[in-house]
């Protein structure tokens, strides 16, 4: 039997621990092969909130979602009566592109300086901007754009527009700055939970400030991007600042979900992901998400545990995308849609109890590049170590 030490993190029930029985024989196990979420997996929907009966049901359902195509995921969400923030953002991108074409036709030859900014955005965009699902980055500058508001996008598959979900007897809310929990799953106190930014012990509400949170496990790199000045996640642009200027951004993510505590076979469940965003300036020279053809290539060396177990491989993908997110098995190089995590076990653990918890997965090296369609040679960004 192996005991999992639960880390404060997005995809888990916080302030708890549980026992995990393992019978995997491989050193790296991809957790993207579980049941289809269309089966009765111990969850329901209450007022648009996904309610998981247990932590096991939560893990099982999320892993099931990882196997779904975009079309099947839409069918599942509509069938159970749920709308995730991932689907909301997909709808925003589509609505914005359609509305932008209408505005270009209507206002292109007119003086638009006195027109309110909201007119140039779709009703879908304005609704979810006001709701706080998305937020404006670098507002008022030539580099303005929008993105998810939530402090970690690992939540977007199972939180609703208010950032709410339930596991067991606990109601959670995730926002741009806070990770909140309300014990005993008391739906009569939802408004109280949503409106507070401080812990209220008498109401069983706990609030953690997650502002500027970039990683969740000490020693892991978390998000990695191209550094330019003070910007850790800079874009690669074609330049010029004019209509149809293009840009692309490549980021990596390496972080731990659980540390599996064991004297004989300790291990880690962890995430290894890549993100690519594509944007283009519209007729007003404003950045818009734009689906385009991209080529992504990567190779990596990841060390884990005190004996420096090495996992190396490569990954390539060619597709049309405006916002790509892929989970990649660090050993085989295979990928799974949406979110998936992987398990590694120590082949020669230290004799000291829990010593391996201080040696999480780290990049020894990586070599990534992405090419965006947009000219004879395309637009490229590189990430290397």
Residue 356, pLDDT above cutoff 90: yes
Residue 87, pLDDT above cutoff 80: yes
41 band by pLDDT with thresholds 50, 70 and 90: low
* Poorest-pLDDT segment among 208-217, 270-279, 360-369: 208-217
Highest-scoring range by mean pLDDT, 68-77, 251-260, 330-339: 251-260
**Short-list 256, 258, 262, CA closest to 3:** 262
Buried b (16+ CB within 10 A) or exposed e, 246-272: bbbbbbbbbbbbbbbbbeeebbbbbbb
Residue 62, pLDDT above cutoff 50: yes
- Note the pLDDT of residue 16: 30
- The answer to whether the CB of 224 falls within 8 A of the CB of 314 is no
**Short-list 192, 202, 195, 201, CA closest to 175:** 195
| CA gyration radius, the chain | 22
Q: Which residue has the higher pLDDT, 176 or 16?
A: 176
Highest-scoring range by mean pLDDT, 182-186, 260-264, 318-322, 363-367: 363-367
Percent with pLDDT over 70 in the chain: 83
The set of residues, in sequence order, having a beta carbon less than 8 Å from that of 365 and lying 6+ positions away, is 300, 301, 385
Give the three-class secondary structure for 98: helix
Q: Where are the domains of the chain?
A: 1-29+214-385, 31-82+157-209, 85-153
Residues paired with residue 2 on neighbouring β-strands, in sequence order: 20
- The answer to whether the CB of 2 falls within 8 A of the CB of 260 is yes
Residue 88, pLDDT above cutoff 90: yes
336-354 residue pLDDT tens = 554 567 889 999 999 998 8
96-147 residue pLDDT tens = 999 999 999 999 888 888 888 899 999 999 999 999 999 999 998 989 999 9
């Amino acid at each position: 039997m192996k005991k999992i030490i639960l880390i404060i993190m997005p995809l888990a029930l916080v302030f708890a621990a549980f026992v995990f029985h393992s019978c995997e024989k491989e050193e790296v196990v991809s957790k993207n092969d579980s049941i289809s979420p269309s089966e009765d997996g111990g969850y329901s929907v209450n007022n648009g909130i996904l309610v998981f009966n247990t932590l096991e049901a939560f893990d099982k359902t999320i892993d099931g979602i990882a196997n779904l195509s975009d079309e099947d995921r839409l069918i599942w969400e509509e069938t159970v009566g749920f709308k995730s923030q991932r689907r909301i953002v997909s709808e925003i991108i589509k609505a914005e592109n359609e509305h932008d074409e209408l505005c270009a036709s209507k206002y292109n030859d007119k003086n638009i300086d006195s027109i309110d900014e909201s007119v140039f955005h779709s009703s879908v965009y304005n609704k979810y901007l006001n709701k706080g699902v998305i937020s404006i980055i670098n507002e008022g500058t030539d580099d303005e754009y929008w993105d998810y508001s939530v402090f970690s996008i690992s939540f977007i598959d199972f939180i609703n527009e208010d950032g709410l979900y339930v596991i067991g007897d606990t109601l959670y809310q995730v926002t741009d700055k806070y990770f909140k929990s309300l014990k005993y799953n008391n739906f009569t106190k939802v408004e109280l939970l949503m409106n507070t930014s401080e812990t209220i012990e008498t109401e069983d509400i706990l609030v953690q400030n997650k502002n500027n949170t970039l990683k969740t496990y000490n020693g892991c790199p978390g998000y990695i991007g191209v550094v330019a000045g003070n910007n850790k996640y800079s874009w690669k642009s074609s330049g010029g600042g004019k209509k149809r200027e293009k840009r692309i951004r490549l980021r990596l993510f390496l972080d731990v979900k659980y540390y599996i505590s064991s004297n004989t076979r300790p291990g880690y469940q962890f995430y290894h992901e890549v993100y690519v965003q594509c944007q283009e300036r519209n007729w007003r020279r404003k950045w818009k998400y734009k689906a385009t053809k991209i080529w992504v290539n990567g190779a990596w060396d990841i060390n884990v545990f005190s004996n420096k177990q090495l996992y190396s491989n490569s990954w390539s993908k060619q597709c049309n995308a405006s916002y790509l997110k892929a989970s990649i098995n660090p050993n085989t190089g295979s990928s799974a849609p949406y979110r998936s995590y992987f398990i590694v076990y120590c082949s020669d653990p230290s004799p000291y109890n829990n010593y391996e918890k201080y040696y999480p997965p780290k990049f020894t090296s990586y070599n990534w590049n992405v090419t965006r369609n947009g000219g004879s040679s395309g637009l490229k960004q590189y990430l290397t170590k």
